[in-house]
Amino acid sequence: MSEEKLVWKGYAVHDTSRWDQLKLINFEPKRMEDYDIDIKIEYCGICGSDLHTITGGWGEDVMLPLIPGHEITGHVVRVGPAVTEFKVGQRVGVGAQICSCFECVPCKTDNENYCPDKVDTYNAKYPNGDIAWGGYGTAIRAHERFVFPIPDGMSLDHAAPFLCAGLTVFSPMIRNGLGPGKRLGVVGVGGLGHFAIQFGKALGAEVVVFSRSNSKEKDARELGASHFVATADENFADPWKLKLDLIICTADVSKGIPLNKLLTTLVVNGRFIMAALPDDHLPAINSFELANNGALLGGCHIGSKKEILEMFKVAVEKNVKSVIEVRPMKDVGQALQSVANNRVRYRMVLK
């Protein structure tokens, strides 16, 4: 199959106070290198991280104009001379990381997602100064280590949210030994949570879902939850003390998370992993809630290529699905508003 000439255009934010008023711009991709791959974008999911970034919610510098998007799927249209893993025409995806140093200990131990010099897919620069442009556009150029084959039988629109939301919950499950005979707590039923419930069940764990009210109980059980707990009940944690091996918090808010009570539900040396990255700080922690059961509190950052490949394998074998709404890329502003107002079940994908 011959190479296709790409047009490099994308929808960019120019002002964080007008984050839903994106404009179509032309842009120059990073300089082509031997291991790079050019991908024609077919779909790009909208992640909560996109909103945190374009609104300035995380308080970090925003490189304007900014093209967001890091749940990207499409087709390979060009490969560099050193590329060995991919060929023109192949269906592929790109997630929230676009490059790393390739030389540090994390990079050499399948932990490249924790490389201190990692390059995010957007709102970042490469070491040579080139700008990293995201997936709300026509094409992207990426190093082959950060490009992933999409499994046969999985559509590109449904595959897109796996590349950040799916991976963000799958990685801590694998790293914390989740499997048969274990109990997983999932806090929140949304973009990340609907994956966490499914992957928890797929890995053989018993899944307990915590949510503020009972409004999402039906969905949670259909996704694979064995138990549903409404945290509005003041005594919700009492029946679950010392019962859960791992909790993954997917709620993209800090206020209202009953953190201290949730910590009591962990077994001795059980782990609470904060997978979501809300704008504000976590609630204050009572140190006794850590001491009483030796609970461990931690976080996670997407996952490695090794974990992405394993994730897709599990998803295909166990029929893990993304629940999505698809809208045209030209309606990106309205789509972002829907995500910001929690009017999406459960992941928005742009086409």
What pLDDT is attached to residue 263?
96
Distance CA(46)–CA(328), nearest Å, equals 12
- H helices of the chain, in order, are 48-54, 105-108, 156-159, 165-175, 193-202, 217-223, 259-264, 287-291, 305-318, 332-340
Distance CA(152)–CA(162), nearest Å, equals 15
What pLDDT is attached to residue 3?
57
Neighbours of 87 (CB within 10 A): 11
* CATH code for the part of the protein at 166-299: 3.40.50.720
What pLDDT is attached to residue 1?
46
Tokens of 324: 């999505």
Question: Which CATH topology does 9-164+322-350 take?
Answer: Quinone Oxidoreductase; Chain A, domain 1 (3.90.180)
Q: Where are the domains of the chain?
A: 9-164+322-350, 166-299
SS3 220: helix
Distance CA(255)–CA(12), nearest Å, equals 31
Backbone angles phi, psi at 117, to 5 degrees: -110, 25
pTM of the model: 0.96
pLDDT in tens, 177-189: 999 999 999 999 9
Q: What is the DSSP string of 100-131?
A: --SSSHHHHTT-GGG-TT-EESSSEE-TTS-E
What pLDDT is attached to residue 6?
82
Report the phi/psi class of residue 10: left, alpha or beta, with left for phi > 0 and alpha for psi in -120 to 50.
beta
Contact 248, 196 (CB under 8 A): yes
Contact 135, 74 (CB under 8 A): no
Regions of the chain where pLDDT drops below 70? 1-4
